Amino acid sequence: MNIQKVTDKPGENAFFLVYTLLDTGTTVEKVKELCGNFAAFGRSMRGRYPEANVNCVMGFGADAWGRLFPDKPRPKELYPFREIRGDKHTAVSTPGDLFFHIRSKSAGVCFEIAENIDNALQGVVVSEDEVHGFRYFDGRSIIGFVDGTENPEGDESCKAAVIGDDDPMYKGGSYAFVQKYIHDMKAWNKLSVEEQEKVIGRRKFNDIELGDDEKPENAHNAVTNIADADGNELKIIRANMPFAYPSKGEYGTYFIGYAGAFSTTRRMLENMFVGDPIGNTDRLLDFSKAVTGTLFFVPTFDMLDELAED
């Protein structure tokens, strides 16, 4: 099973592209042609730049899936993301039919792949969002804390991020949920280091988790810690990247969560934005605003080939 590499590390550079489809006579044809060529984009770059650690992921939104592949049922948990509105904060829902996540040590390699994708889709798509992420120091977010600390590793990463036997038709695929967060850095920087640590639930400099006697119930890593009915912790793979436009005063985090079941990600989001119990919302949201929110299904490379030929 040729799985798209959703469990890879975030990388040094990442381009995130979200498109919506136009209603043209060649839209379906061009997208299917890209499906058939997509794996080759990455292979070509890996052959030319083996040291660049190239990784490309392609995903589809719910509306696009029904339009492009009407004879194939939707993956079990693929649907247009429904906004989550709490008393204080909202996880917004924004449009998106196609999603591309490009990672490499080289920003130039990311650029060339993005350009190839855009050329292949010329005339049949409109760009909804594009973000260029970068590695900040030792894997820290713009707010100064190490990101992705809770990601499972080894076999556990595949269990968390890849669809299993519960949806056999789409086994090996994944659900990608993306959100662009803008941070209020002025308000954040007014907090002392100790106050910031209580917002996140970890030490800022050594990344050690706060003890239960120190960690508030609304700390970020407390509200996103969930378990199933048997008490087993549920995980996703985060490939978050910081981005910034200093001259505009815009600083943010591009959140991307890969999961074998989107219901896991959604439950984390509900805990953050609504609270469990209600009102115990993620303290980090007082400094970070979600301005996008879209769900995609990521097929295997083998399925992309099948979709191209369908």
Per-residue DSSP letters for 55-86?
Answer: EEEEEE-HHHHHHH-TTSPPPTT--PPPPEE-
Residue pair 136/143 in contact (Cβ under 8 Å)? The answer is no
Q: Which amino acid is at 277?
A: P
How far apart, in whole angstroms, are the C-alpha atoms of residue 139 and residue 149?
Answer: 9
Is 147 known to be catalytic?
A: yes
The region, left, alpha or beta by phi > 0 then psi within -120 to 50, assigned to residue 7 is alpha
What are the helix (H) ranges across the chain?
27-48, 62-68, 107-120, 155-161, 185-189, 193-200, 220-223, 262-273, 301-309
How far apart, in whole angstroms, are the C-alpha atoms of residue 18 and residue 163?
Answer: 22
How far apart, in whole angstroms, are the C-alpha atoms of residue 63 and residue 68?
Answer: 9
| Per annotation, catalytic residue among 129, 147, 167, 184 | 147
Token pair in block for residue 119 = 């050329």
Cα 281 → chain centroid = 21
Question: Which residues on neighbouring strands pair with residue 237, listed in sequence order?
Answer: 258
CB atoms inside a 10 Å sphere around CB 169: 11
How far apart, in whole angstroms, are the C-alpha atoms of residue 82 and residue 11?
Answer: 30
Residues annotated as catalytic (active site), given as ranges: 147
